[in-house]
Every structure is written in structure tokens, then in C-alpha cells.
Chain A
């Protein structure tokens, strides 16, 4: 026995990665979350919050704890981390390990701005984490996966923008998943104080677009009075990945949050996004676009909670579905008693491109105040033959015409972001997905 140990210690090869389910917490201090994770059962079909979802797909047993990547892989992934032309700063992570952190604009070094990997922030700013780290409970059905994240998270991005500071260019983070059956737990925590302004883009990518893997991400946005935060998450995991992402956005008085989730990759993707309109005058724009093909399942759950009067929220989710893809949109608007003068909108549009595609929509309202304006709408349809014919009559092939129309369909979401550079990047990613489609 001792010889075996000795050999392992002496060689450079690491021990075989542990299975996630038998790994336990990532570090001391995460035991409670682990215990919670093991205690909560997997979702079942009868759970309303998992209605329509293929819950059989949620088996976590194949996945392994993340392993550090070697130097060659590091170089390769850094080279592949192509972000925006102009960014204020960029962090690159692979398998929950920080590969690089570059400050590109001096606005990131302004007085009081904290931009650190999570593990370093934990040492230098424990109070901030104490106050904000995963303080909003996952309430849309994903508690088990939130607990898993809390028990496994090793790194991520903390961005704290103090009062009145505006960061001119977007801040970016890349999260890479590397190796078959590997897992990763990306974390993004943005805290914008009074009148602070910032844009953050997360890119989720897999080194191998066909490798199975597990990603379980949390991104929380905190907006103080009058703050403006734009958050974009471009999800492009491998086509065999099981992915979760849990978002909470807390909007203070007169603050404006805008989030966009682009769902491109993954085999089974579950996205939960909650906006708490907590201060009067607050506004949250919740956007998403999905390009689903093959047997992809993209399951989006949203919640617009109007906790204060004079708040507004506007949600637009658009799904394009090809092959045997399935999408689920289940969203709820809740207007608490006393949250008068609320304006809340929710719109989901499904474009079905194949006879085997399936779109499920469950847009919901729960209104407990009377002086409100709330509407929601859901439509499911296909490309109009007339429209297609018109384009084809101009010499465009059917396939190209379809792509044009789908692009136009998704463009509305991208335009609502009102950030042309990021929009162009997203459009490019959508194009790449179309190009890869067999």
C-alpha cells in the first residue's frame, strides 16, 4: 500500500478524478451545501416547476470533479478565448481554474472597483461575499443544483462597482469545460452600487464540442439605487453537455437591469432567471434567444417579481427549434400586494422549423395589486410559406432563405440589448451554430 502511495506522490500524473457524486464538498466551509445537495431529491415529473421537462435526463452519476488543465491546453484555450474587440477586462477559466486575468481599460482600476477571482475575493473582501454571495434562494425548482453549485464552486468572477462609477467597456469572462465527463461550476457575482454602471459578458464554451460534461452555473446581479447593469451570457457548451444556470437579479430603486441569455449549446439546458424588482422605479429587461436543433432540450423558467410600486419588467424570449429539439418556457409575473403602478410584460415566441420539434409555453401571471398593467403573450408558429416564397423568388435557396428568416426572428432580441458590438458577436455565434448544423 505504501509503495503505491509513494509512486503516486513521486510521479507527476494526478490521481484519477473523483466521481462528483462521491466527491463531497470542494473545500471546508462547503459541507453544509453538500449536505443540502445530497438531501434534496432529484426533481420528478409531478413537480410543477419541472412540468414538461425530461427529468430522466438529469442523472449526475457520470460526471467527474474538474481537473486542472495542462500547459498546452491552457495555451490553446487562451488562444480560443476570443472576446470583444474592446473590453475593459477579461478573465479566462478552464475547469474552474483561473487561466488569466487581464485589465484592458483603466476604468477597471478606478478607485474602489473590485474585480477579482472569487477565491481571492474571499480572502480580501469576506464582507462583500458574506453580504451577497448566493443570498437569493433558487425558487424555480433548481435548489438541488444551486446547492451542488455552492458545494463545488472554486472560482468565478466578483465585480464590485462602487457608487457613481461607470465602467466604459464590457467586462468579460470565459469559462471552459475540458475533458470527457468533466464538470465545472462558473460563478459570476456583480454588485453595482448607487448610480454605478457596467456591462458584463460571460462566455460558456467546451474545448471539445462533442464531449459529455456537466456545467452548473450561478450568476447573480445586485443593483443599488439608479445603477445600470447589462449582463449577457452566451452559452455554447458542447452538444453533449448537461447544463444548469441559475440567475437572480435584484433591482433597487430606479435601477435598470438588462440580461440576455443566448442558448446555443448543451444537450439538456435548464435556465432559471428571477428578477426581484425591489425598489420603486426599478426596471428589468429579461431577454433570451435559443437556437435548438438535433435532440436539444432547452428549459427556461423565469420569474418577474414586483415587490415595490412603480416598477417595470419586460421579458422577451425567442426560440428557434429545428430537428427534434424541445423548448420549454415557463414564466411567471407576480405583482405583490401594494406594488401598484406596475408595468409587466412577458412575451415568448416559438418558431418551429421541423415536424419533430416541440415548443412548450406556460406564461403565467399572479397579480395581487389592482393598479397595474400586465400582459403576456405566447405564440408558436412556423415560417410563413408566402415569406419563404418571396425570398426564393428572388433567387435565394430555400435553406438560405430559412436562415435569413430565423436570423431576422432572433434579431429583435439582440437589438433590444442595445449594444451593437455584443450584438454582432452574438449574431456571429448564431451563424456559427447554423453553419455547423447538419
Chain B
């Protein structure tokens, strides 16, 4: 395969590890008060209903304790007062690449964003710190009535659809960080796919943190109307900063009757990012929602994509890969809430812990009573490399009644010395042998990613494995 093609989706950290000094027109300063909220609303020129909504969310955020009674104590190291909650250049998202300010353009060009768009994507939204700087959707898709804009644009210009679903899948008070996002969100995507429209190519968003001590709080809302289909892909990076940086997104998906949504994430945060994301979908009758999630990098990631299976025969799926290297904690998992008959859910999670890395799986499966014909299947496999690595699995399964079946299986294994010796005897170096084994471990899941992403994923894994031998 020509190398040019490989680089197409290049989001490895060495490539992402650069930043430019950018002149921000808007900067909400550090710390979070009700004044910060007003500053954000004024800067963005938002309507009053959202101002009230944000203020209420801030109160909820301040009143909620940290979830450290079950989650990592590392959360206590987030100093909310040191974080900058809103940074933006002040321009509207450009429709054309040429209009994007020079310094931001350089950043995204280094990351290969416009190239990708030209190649095959139906639309791209690129977010630089708080705001989208570039947003485009292929003409053909726009003509089908597909809306693909930033969240601000969505709430201002499509209120009739936006308000109907916004905050309904993930209420403000769902958890402390969803409340935080609700108070200060900026950027993210708003997508509406009209009934019966099948978006052929994926829509893509790219999130980048450029400023130190910055918190990125994008908010994404996707509504797939009856019988429609859409695939959305997001990539995330940040350069290496000295101090911790916060990324706390909220993603809400609504799949109406018979609709299909696939949401693909490949994140490769630098190792000081706290990545605390709430993602949930509602699947109506016969709808299908599939989360495909790959978590590499960050200091602490907490993310448990969920599906509320609200309509009969709805189907939810979470496919996730987590790779925890030295000093990283990937605390990921899935939630499946069965709320209608004959709903099915499937969770496949694979994690790799390297060096002093820690991978945790947390799962929640809930089948309330008087439902019939519900099925859940969960598989969690953990691979440990190095005796200092750690892995945890904490599923919680509640099943009521006689019409349903749930099954959970988990295993922990390691790459044995004998396996490595065998491969070395055939001429592979230890690092090659490790990489091949790890890729083999995740192979069946990687195949579920879009082709371009799976190539990139393999490369990312190779890169992570390089330092882990010896």
C-alpha cells in the first residue's frame, strides 16, 4: 500500500504534537462562575433559553460530588479553577478551506483534514479549541436535506429539531461531567438525517486542543429520522502540555424507527488529557445503534457509550478497543438499557495494558421485568503485557423475569514468553513479535472499523508497542 494513503488518517501523537501561538479574540479566562456562562453566551450570540439552561447546569455541576466512590481518585487532581472554558478566534465556521485563518489552517493541514475530505468523506467539521473553524458538507448530501453543522449553528438555525432532542438522551444531571458540559459546551456537531435518506459516505469531525490548561466541551447531537442511515467518525488529538487538560464531551444520538447510526471514534490524546465523555443513544423501534470506539492515549479516560433500547426489536452494540500505556488509565465500557421487548444488545470489549498502564472495563446491562425476548451478550478480553500492567473488569447485570437471556464472559491473558520465542525463531524481532500478537488480539474488532481507520489503528498500535519491549 502506498505510504501516502497510510498517512491519510494519520493521527499519531508525534504528528499531533505541535502547536501554534494563536491570537484568540475570545477568552473566558480561567475558572468557572456564572459570569463565565454569560461571557460564553454573549460571545456566541446565543438565545436566552440556552442562557438559562446553562446557568441551571452550572448549579447542578457545582452541587454534584465527584464520583470518586467508584471511580479513580485521580479525578480529584482536576483543578477546575485553572481551566480555561472558552477560547475562540471569533470567526464563523468557513465553508471553504481558503477562508480558514492561516495558523489554524496550518494546524489542520498538518493533520491532513482537507485531504481526507476530498478523498471520500461526505462532510467534515473541524474544531479548534472551543469553536468549529471549518465546516463543509458535500453538495449532494446537503441536497438530500441532511443537516451537518456545529452545535451553535444547530441551536440557532434549526431550533425546531434541535430543542426537541437536545438534553433528552443525556439529561444535565446525568453525572457531574455531563452537567459541566451542559454549562459550558461549545462546538461539536449537529446532524439531522431526513426520513429514508441513507448517507453513503461517512461524516467526519475532527477535534483538536491547541491551548494549554484548556477544557474542550463539545456537544454532539445526531438525529437519524425514520429509516435513515448515517455513519459519523470523530478523531481527536492534543499536543503534549505540561499541565493537565480537560476534554469533556457529551454526545447524544437519536435513532428513530428503523434508522441506523454508526458512531466511530478513534482518539489518541496526549498523556495529560483527562478525557471524561458521556455518550448515549436512544434506539426506537427496529433501529440500530453501533458505537465503535478506540481509546488510545490520555491520562484518564472515562467513557461508557450506552444505548437505551426504547422500541421493540431495537438493537444496540458497543465495540471497543482500549490501549493503556505507561501512566494511563483507560476506564471504559458500555451501558445497555433494555426498555422494550425483543431488544438485543452486544458488547465486545478488548483492552491491552502495557507497562504501568491500567485498563478497566465497566459495564451495565439492565433488563427490567415484564420484557420478553431480550438478549444481551457481553465479551471482555484483556491482554496484559509486562508484569506491572493492570486490568480490571466490573460488569453489573440486572435481569428480571423469565423471557430474557444475558450472558457475560471475560478473560485475561498475556502474551507468553514461549509465543514470543516462537516468533523470534522465525526471524521477527521481539518488538515485531509483540506488535503482531497485539494486532492479532484485536484483529476481529479492528475489522469492524472503516478500512482507512483500521489501517491507521494498526499503525498506532505498532507505535505504542515500540517503547514497550525490553
Look across to chain B and name the residue whose beta carbon is closest to the beta carbon of A326.
Answer: B400
A47 contacts which of B69, B391, B401 (Cβ < 8 Å)? B69
> In the complex, which residues of chain A have a beta carbon less than 8 angstroms from the beta carbon of B411?
374-375
Stretch at the interface among A32-40, A157-165, A199-207, A352-360: A352-360
Look across to chain B and name the residue whose beta carbon is closest to the beta carbon of A358.
Answer: B400
B399 in contact with A380 (CB, 8 Å): yes
A373 to B383, CA, bound (A): 11
B398 in contact with A359 (CB, 8 Å): yes
B370: Cβ under 8 A from any A Cβ: yes
A385 CB to closest chain B CB (Å) equals 10
With A370-B384, A372-B412, A375-B412 already in contact, the answer to whether A52 and B398 are too (CB < 8 A) is yes
B414 contacts which of A52, A338, A371 (Cβ < 8 Å)? A371
> In the complex, which residues of chain A have a beta carbon less than 8 angstroms from the beta carbon of B407?
377-381
> In the complex, which residues of chain B have a beta carbon less than 8 angstroms from the beta carbon of A47?
69
A236 to B377, CA, bound (A): 35
- Between A48, A52, A379, the greatest number of chain B beta carbons within 10 A of the residue's beta carbon is seen for A379
A340: Cβ under 8 A from any B Cβ: yes
> In the complex, which residues of chain A have a beta carbon less than 8 angstroms from the beta carbon of B402?
352-355, 357, 382-383
With A355-B402, A378-B407 already in contact, the answer to whether A373 and B390 are too (CB < 8 A) is no
A198 to B33, CA, bound (A): 67
A376: Cβ under 8 A from any B Cβ: yes
A92 CB to closest chain B CB (Å) equals 40
Look across to chain A and name the residue whose beta carbon is closest to the beta carbon of B372.
Answer: A355
> In the complex, which residues of chain A have a beta carbon less than 8 angstroms from the beta carbon of B167?
none
B243: Cβ under 8 A from any A Cβ: no
B412 in contact with A374 (CB, 8 Å): yes
A368 in contact with B412 (CB, 8 Å): no
B384 in contact with A367 (CB, 8 Å): yes
B420 CB to closest chain A CB (Å) equals 13
A356 in contact with B388 (CB, 8 Å): no
A380 in contact with B412 (CB, 8 Å): no
A336 CB to closest chain B CB (Å) equals 11
Which residues of B62-78 are within 8 A (CB) of A?
69-70
B400 in contact with A361 (CB, 8 Å): no
B123 CB to closest chain A CB (Å) equals 41
> In the complex, which residues of chain A have a beta carbon less than 8 angstroms from the beta carbon of B382?
365, 367
What are the interface flags for B373-402 relative to A under an 8 Å C-beta threshold, 1 for contact and 0 otherwise? 000000000101111111111111111111
A350 contacts which of B369, B384, B399, B416 (Cβ < 8 Å)? B399
B174 CB to closest chain A CB (Å) equals 16
A360 in contact with B387 (CB, 8 Å): no
A367 in contact with B396 (CB, 8 Å): no
B401 in contact with A381 (CB, 8 Å): no
A337 in contact with B388 (CB, 8 Å): yes
A352 CB to closest chain B CB (Å) equals 5
Interface size classification for chain B? 35 or more
B404: Cβ under 8 A from any A Cβ: yes
> In the complex, which residues of chain A have a beta carbon less than 8 angstroms from the beta carbon of B447?
none
A46 to B412, CA, bound (A): 29
B399 in contact with A359 (CB, 8 Å): yes
A75: Cβ under 8 A from any B Cβ: no
With A370-B384, A381-B405 already in contact, the answer to whether A352 and B390 are too (CB < 8 A) is no
A129: Cβ under 8 A from any B Cβ: no
B369 in contact with A355 (CB, 8 Å): yes
Total contacting residues, chain A, CB less than 8 A: 41
B25: Cβ under 8 A from any A Cβ: no
A372 in contact with B414 (CB, 8 Å): yes
> In the complex, which residues of chain A have a beta carbon less than 8 angstroms from the beta carbon of B387?
337-338, 340, 369-371
B400 in contact with A366 (CB, 8 Å): no
A380 to B70, CA, bound (A): 25
Look across to chain A and name the residue whose beta carbon is closest to the beta carbon of B382.
Answer: A367
B408: Cβ under 8 A from any A Cβ: yes
- Between A350, A371, A379, A380, the greatest number of chain B beta carbons within 10 A of the residue's beta carbon is seen for A380
B405 in contact with A363 (CB, 8 Å): no
A361 to B394, CA, bound (A): 10
A360 in contact with B69 (CB, 8 Å): no
What are the interface flags for A372-406 relative to B under an 8 Å C-beta threshold, 1 for contact and 0 otherwise? 11111111111100000000000000000000000
B410 in contact with A361 (CB, 8 Å): no
> In the complex, which residues of chain B have a beta carbon less than 8 angstroms from the beta carbon of A360?
396-399
A367 in contact with B410 (CB, 8 Å): no
B409: Cβ under 8 A from any A Cβ: yes
B440: Cβ under 8 A from any A Cβ: no
B406: Cβ under 8 A from any A Cβ: yes
Which residues of B96-139 are within 8 A (CB) of A?
none
A362: Cβ under 8 A from any B Cβ: yes
> In the complex, which residues of chain B have a beta carbon less than 8 angstroms from the beta carbon of A369?
384, 387
A416: Cβ under 8 A from any B Cβ: no
Look across to chain A and name the residue whose beta carbon is closest to the beta carbon of B392.
Answer: A366
> In the complex, which residues of chain A have a beta carbon less than 8 angstroms from the beta carbon of B394?
362, 364
Q: Which residues of A contact B (CB under 8 A)?
A: 46-48, 51-52, 337-338, 340, 350, 352-383
Could you list 6 A-B pairs, sorted by A, with CB under 8 Å?
A355-B370, A359-B397, A364-B395, A368-B388, A375-B411, A378-B408
Give 3 nearest A-B pairs by CB, closest first.
A380-B399, A370-B384, A382-B402
- Known pairs A359-B400, A362-B397, A368-B389. 9 more at Cβ < 8 A? A337-B387, A360-B396, A360-B398, A360-B399, A361-B397, A365-B412, A370-B389, A373-B412, A381-B405
